[in-house]
């Protein structure tokens, strides 16, 4: 029972990170119907920005407060990553929006490769570690053999994910920008005729997705304490899987899908073998899509005639 509880805590933490990345996928796909395969590498770039900012603040400027350092890292990562993703949308995606459907997909894959190789050349192929942060833990079930604990950084990841999910759900459902996004999702041409700036709405959606990816990048850096140029691919694919599993186009579905993928990974690694944890996660996706093609909270696609 102790092992189950501990792995449950670990799985929710990992799934929260996947969920934050998955929201970016589902927001972009919901509006323009394109899978932004560079989103995972945007997440990776944000983690490197956070690491560089952390080292500058701690090593060069001598800032001693971890809370201040993390807040500054979060702000810098969100701003720079948002600018980066806005540029990607303007340069790589917008010119191809009216072309055949495979063109933006090929451009997204090319941008993903370009970002990964750029970081590899700029920062080197080795892992970049940071000093451990928020090492204190709370013992939930004391035991001499296997104590169940939860760390402060895990609590922080849970709280940040819950707050951001609630905030972005409110933004999409209750604000003028959210109404514009939902209008573009239903019919971009009609939204444009009604006076909505479609290009601006799509650009802001990319900015919002990048900001969420930046938060996930900072949480990833804090949780694991190391980043690598290859970190964009695997978490990105799993986050996309989470978005599809939860129902792409649904913000709560993206987080639920992320939690499920995280829990499947962690429990499979604990009770079976770590070598096949990815196979288990993707197998669950296949089973769900066979019986629920729209995902858990997704809506069936209505064909316009």
Checking if the pLDDT of 96 tops 80, the result is: yes
Q: What is the CA radius of gyration of the chain?
A: 20
205 lies in some domain: yes
Domain assignment present for 106? yes
Token readout for 5 is: 């509880």
31 found inside a domain: yes
Burial (CB count <10 Å: 0-12, 13-18, 19+), residue 137: middle
Domain count, the chain: 1
Query: 11 with 238: CB under 8 angstroms?
Result: no
* Dihedral (CA of 292, 293, 294, 300) sign: negative
Closest by CA to 28, choosing from 299, 192, 218, 210, is 210
Between 176-186 and 2-32, two packed helices, what is the crossing angle to 10 degrees?
A: 70
The pLDDT of residue 303 is above 60: no
Residue 233: what pLDDT?
A: 86
Strands 148-151 and 137-141: antiparallel
Q: Report pLDDT digits (tens) over 261-278.
A: 999 999 988 888 888 888
DSSP 296: S
pLDDT at 305 over 70: no
Which pLDDT does position 27 carry in this prediction? 86
Would the pLDDT of 76 be above 90? Answer: yes
C-alpha span between 90 and 80 (Å, rounded)? 15
- Alpha-carbon span 15 to 267, nearest angstrom: 12
- The pLDDT of residue 284 is 80
The pLDDT value recorded for residue 251 is: 87
Classify residue 142: in a domain, yes or no.
no
Quick: pLDDT tens for 121-132: 998 888 888 888
User: What pLDDT was estimated at residue 143?
Assistant: 78
Residue 119, domain member (yes or no): yes
**pLDDT of 64:** 79
| Residue 300 domain-assigned (yes or no) | no
Which pLDDT score is estimated for 257? 92
Instruction: Indicate whether 183 pLDDT > 60.
Output: yes
Q: Taking the alpha carbons of 177, 305, 253, 77 in that order, is the dihedral positive or negative? A: negative
Q: Is residue 245 part of a domain?
A: yes
- CATH number, domain of 263, equals 1.10.3470
Q: What confidence score (pLDDT) does residue 34 get?
A: 79
CA-CA distance, 47 to 214, in Å (whole number)? Answer: 7
Lowest-pLDDT choice from 14-18, 140-144, 237-241: 140-144
Structure tokens at 166: 């609630």
First vs last C-alpha separation in the chain: 54
Is 302's pLDDT higher than 70? Answer: no
Would you call 164 helix, strand, or coil by DSSP? helix
| pLDDT for the residue numbered 74 | 93
Chain-wide mean pLDDT for the chain? 88
Question: Rounded distance, CA 223 to CA 68, Å?
Answer: 17
Position 15 confidence tier, pLDDT thresholds 50, 70, 90: very high
For position 237, what pLDDT does the model report?
87
Average pLDDT over residues 166-183: 90
The residues, ordered by sequence, that sit 6+ positions from 109 with a Cβ below 8 Å of its Cβ are 37, 38
Instruction: Report if residue 236 sits inside a domain.
Output: yes
Q: How confident is the model at residue 65 (pLDDT cuts 50, 70, 90)?
A: confident
Q: What pLDDT band is residue 250 in, cutting at 50, 70 and 90?
A: confident
The mean per-residue pLDDT over the stretch 190-215 comes to: 92
Which structural domain range is residue 99 located in? 2-135+154-291
Q: Tokens 């691919």 label which residue?
A: 233
Measuring CA to CA, which residue among 178, 209, 156, 146 is closest to residue 3? Answer: 146
């Amino acid at each position: 029972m102790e092992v189950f509880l501990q792995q449950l805590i670990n799985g929710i933490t990992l799934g929260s990170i996947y969920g934050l990345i998955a929201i970016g996928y589902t927001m972009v796909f919901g509006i323009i119907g394109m899978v932004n395969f560079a989103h995972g590498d945007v997440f990776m770039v944000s983690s490197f920005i956070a690491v560089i900012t952390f080292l500058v603040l701690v090593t060069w400027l001598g800032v001693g407060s971890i809370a201040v350092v993390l807040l500054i890292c979060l702000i810098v990562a969100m701003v720079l990553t948002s600018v980066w993703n806005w540029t990607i949308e303007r340069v790589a995606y917008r010119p191809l929006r009216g072309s055949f459907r495979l063109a933006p997909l090929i451009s997204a894959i090319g941008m993903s490769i370009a970002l990964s190789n750029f970081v590899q050349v700029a920062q080197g192929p080795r892992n970049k570690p940071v000093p451990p942060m928020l090492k204190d833990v709370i013992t939930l079930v004391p035991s001499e053999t296997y104590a169940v604990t939860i760390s402060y950084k895990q609590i922080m990841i849970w709280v940040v994910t819950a707050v951001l999910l609630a905030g972005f759900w409110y933004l999409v459902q209750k604000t003028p920008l959210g109404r514009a996004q939902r209008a573009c999702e239903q019919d971009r041409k009609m939204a444009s005729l009604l006076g909505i700036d479609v290009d601006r709405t799509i650009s802001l959606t990319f900015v919002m997705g990048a900001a969420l990816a930046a938060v996930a990048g900072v949480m990833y850096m804090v949780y694991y304490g190391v980043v690598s140029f290859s970190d964009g691919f695997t978490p990105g694919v799993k986050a996309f899987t989470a978005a599809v599993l939860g129902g792409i186009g649904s913000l709560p579905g993206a987080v639920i899908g992320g939690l499920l993928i995280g829990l499947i990974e962690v429990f499979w690694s604990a009770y079976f073998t770590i070598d096949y944890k990815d196979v288990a996660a993707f197998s669950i996706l296949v089973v769900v899509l066979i019986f629920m093609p729209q995902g858990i909270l997704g809506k069936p696609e209505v064909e316009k005639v």
